[in-house]
Amino acid sequence: MNPPPAPIGNSSLEEIVAHRDLSVHFQPIVSVATGHILAYEALSRGPRNSPYADPIPMFRAARECGLLAALERGCRERAIESWVATGLGELLFLNASPEVLIDPEHLGGKTLALLQQHSLSPARIVIEITEQSPGIDPDLMAEAARYYQSMGFSIALDDLGDGYAGLRLWSQLNPDYVKLDRHFVSRLDENPIKRRFVRSIIDIAHSMDSRVIAEGVEREGELDTLLELGADYCQGWLFARPDAAPHRIRELLEARLASLAANRRPAATATEIQRLSVPLPALDADLCVAEASERFSRLPHANALAVVDGRSRPIGILGRQQLMALLGKRFGFDLHGRQPIAKVMRTRALCVEAHEPLERVSRKVTGREESSRDEDFIITDGGRYLGMGHVINLLQLFTEQQVQLARQANPLTQLPGNRPIRVALEHYQRQARGFVACYLDLDNFKPFNDRFGYALGDRMILALAKLVSSELGREDFLGHLGGDDFILLLNDGKNLHRRLAGIQRRFIIESHALVPADARAAGGFHAKDRYDQWRFFPLVRLSIIALRVGAEARVESFGDLWSRFKPAAKRAGNGRIVVRLDRRSATVGE
């Protein structure tokens, strides 16, 4: 027997549901890489100044009282009505509990009728499956999801990574979007274990042609790491809080996205995928199959064409072979010729941004299922259609880049060598934004090498390269000049001293582990100096000369500046010196 709904002032939960005493707020889902807004998620709340103003206890109580289906129906109705009133045209994410989704009484028909009342297409709606309820049969859940997809809805799976049930359901569903649980997003930039989990989840999702949305993004450090790992979209307070009238703050959101995108310049050595774009014409979504066939006949070298909406945003892809298989059947033209291509296109097309690094796109393409690895992909610029990409061209470009990098890399560490370092410095200066140019040098390394041999010296060089590489942000750069000299370029100078001190501490731990026990115990070793005299040398230490380059500073020779301040860094007790460079002067210390 269900317990009676708890009263709230003069209202019970039954009354709230019956009178739809609900408010709806919308939170954007965005792509920082493209600067565009993908969608808004509808978030329903109960009456203000009541325990049900928080949606979690409201839905929990509704589940316990047998009112969940009625509450979700009311939320969905209010959400669609409020959404239409905003006049916005992005996708709309609507939450649905698993037990309601699999209930035969609620399978899509009522939602479809509601959309028709408001002249909304199912293609603009994403059904987001919320928290997993115990005892729900994953097979029934997968069947219900396929039913919604057959009607034109997209499916999103919420809180991915939150328990075994979610992962099991993911393996049986074919969701268009997966939402990364906020547990993995919080402080992601500070947790290497989380980074490994998130990279694996993103790679798996992309191999299934699903797009990844990271929830709960609140800090720019989290955003940078998510972009580095390849997340497609983000949602969180960093961009905007849920709002009942999102159209009124639209300009603020767009300005915020533009600012975040401008602050995230591509890596200095990145090869952008724009070079691969083949400018094939796109197909309008309302085009019929017969007209699409005629377009293909005029483009004999096109394997596939993108299908776009009225704003030139890709919504699917139509392949030549797919079209021929459809029309090549008996009575194919009679049966399918007048159908809109939106009914037959593949909606799960791989879309990549023109400014994405080659390595990330290569990982997305090769991570797809084997049957679709050779298929063309769509290239966009700011979310709008730019052209098509061919896998063979991608592989050729990737191979060329690898050969070029190998020629210019340091043979020991495989890090970029002298020429890429020069290119990176020029790239950073052209951005007209501040950055930090660091010279890393090992004190007492030559006598150490002479005393203990080049093999041990090489191990120490490799240890330094590995640990500094692990500290790099998305837009940072590390190069190896040769010997024990490295160049580290940091995109910004936030927490600079703490960052550099952390690298030095880690090097002490890892380098001391390589030193023979007697030298470690003595705090140094005996070796010949440059005058061929035996003397005692302290253990190898990492010295850092960091140049804070201001946005208006122009440096003609970084090498001269590093050489000028190198003695001061070696004399410093902590082994580092920070020099601030502006347009006219260099100031030591901070």
The domain limits of the chain are 7-262, 273-397, 409-588
Helix (H/G/I), strand (E/B), else coil: 92: strand
Q: Is the pLDDT of residue 408 over 90?
A: no
Q: Can you tell me which residue has the tokens 């140094």? A: 524
What is the model's pLDDT at position 1?
45
Higher pLDDT, 65 or 282: 282
Mean pLDDT of 386-405: 83
Homologous superfamily assigned to 273-397: CBS-domain (3.10.580.10)
What is the model's pLDDT at position 205?
87
What residues contact 548, with CB distance under 8 A and at least 6 apart? 434, 436, 493, 496, 578, 579, 580, 581, 590
- Determine the residue type at 268: A
What is the model's pLDDT at position 327?
87
Q: Can you tell me which residue has the tokens 């020991």? A: 412
Please state, in angstroms and as integers, the Cα–Cα distance from residue 523 to each residue in 95, 452, 461, 518, 540, following that order: 62, 15, 20, 9, 10
Q: How much of the chain, in percent, has pLDDT values that exceed 70?
A: 91
Strands 211-214 and 233-234, sheet pairing = parallel
What residues contact 315, with CB distance under 8 A and at least 6 apart? 123, 285, 307, 308, 309, 342, 345, 347
Q: Are 566 and 545 in contact (CB under 8 A)?
A: yes
What is the model's pLDDT at position 508?
95
What residues contact 297, with CB distance under 8 A and at least 6 apart? none
Helix (H/G/I), strand (E/B), else coil: 535: strand
What is the model's pLDDT at position 266?
55
Tens of pLDDT along 439-487? 999 999 999 999 999 999 999 999 999 999 998 887 789 999 999 999 9
Please state, in angstroms and as integers, the Cα–Cα distance from residue 378 to each residue in 250, 274, 280, following that order: 27, 11, 10
Looking at 3.40.630.30, 3.20.20.450, 3.40.50.2300, 3.30.300.30, the CATH number of the domain 7-262 comes to 3.20.20.450
Alpha helix segments (H runs only) across 107-180: 109-117, 138-150, 164-172
What is the model's pLDDT at position 589?
60
Q: How far apart are CA 345 and CA 511, in angstroms?
A: 58
Mean pLDDT of 513-538: 93
Q: Are 253 and 37 in contact (CB under 8 A)?
A: yes
Q: How much of the chain, in percent, has pLDDT values that exceed 90?
A: 47
Q: How far apart are CA 267 and CA 149, in angstroms?
A: 38
Kindly tell me the number of DSSP H helices and DSSP E strands found in the chain.
Answer: 22, 24
Helix, strand, coil fractions of the chain, as percent rounded to 5: 45, 25, 30
Q: How far apart are CA 352 and CA 378, in angstroms?
A: 6
Strands 283-284 and 304-308, sheet pairing = parallel
Q: Are 88 and 125 in contact (CB under 8 A)?
A: no
- Answer left, alpha or beta for residue 89, where phi above 0 means left and psi between -120 and 50 means alpha: alpha
Q: Is the pLDDT of residue 7 over 50?
A: no
Mean pLDDT of 23-31: 96
Q: 211, exposed or middle or buried, with CB in 10 Å at 0-12, 13-18, 19+?
A: buried
Q: Are 212 and 178 in contact (CB under 8 A)?
A: yes
What is the model's pLDDT at position 8?
42
Average pLDDT, the chain: 87
Q: Can you tell me which residue has the tokens 């004999």? A: 300
What is the model's pLDDT at position 133?
62
Mean pLDDT of 370-392: 87
Q: Note the maximum CA span of the chain.
A: 95
Q: Which two tokens stand for residue 538?
A: 């302290």
Q: Is the pLDDT of residue 368 over 70?
A: yes
- Residue 536's pLDDT band, with cuts at 50, 70 and 90, is very high
Tens of pLDDT along 322-353? 999 888 888 878 888 899 998 899 888 888 88
Q: How far apart are CA 47 and CA 206, in angstroms?
A: 40
> What is the SS3 assignment for 291-320?
HHHHHHHCCCCCCEEEEECCCCCEEEEEEH
Q: How would you label 289-305 residue by residue, b for 16+ Cβ within 10 Å and e otherwise? A: beebbebbeeeeebbbb
Q: Give the CATH class of 409-588.
A: alpha beta
What is the model's pLDDT at position 163?
53
Tens of pLDDT along 161-194? 555 556 777 877 888 899 998 999 999 988 888 9
Q: Are 80 and 118 in contact (CB under 8 A)?
A: yes
- Beta bridge pairs of residue 25: 43
Helix (H/G/I), strand (E/B), else coil: 390: coil
Q: Which two tokens stand for residue 284?
A: 């309008």
What is the model's pLDDT at position 93?
97
Q: Which two tokens stand for residue 462?
A: 């490799």
Q: Is the pLDDT of residue 410 over 60?
A: yes
Higher pLDDT, 398 or 188: 188
CA 180 to chain centre: 11
Q: Is the pLDDT of residue 242 over 70?
A: yes
- Residue 378's pLDDT band, with cuts at 50, 70 and 90, is very high
Q: How far apart are CA 423 and CA 428, in angstroms?
A: 9
- Residue 265's pLDDT band, with cuts at 50, 70 and 90, is low
The conformation of residue 274, written as its DSSP 8-state character, comes to G
Give the number of other Cβ atoms within 10 Å of residue 454's Cβ.
10
Helix (H/G/I), strand (E/B), else coil: 26: strand
Nearest CA to 415 out of 378, 454, 466, 474 is that of 466
- Beta bridge pairs of residue 388: 278, 378
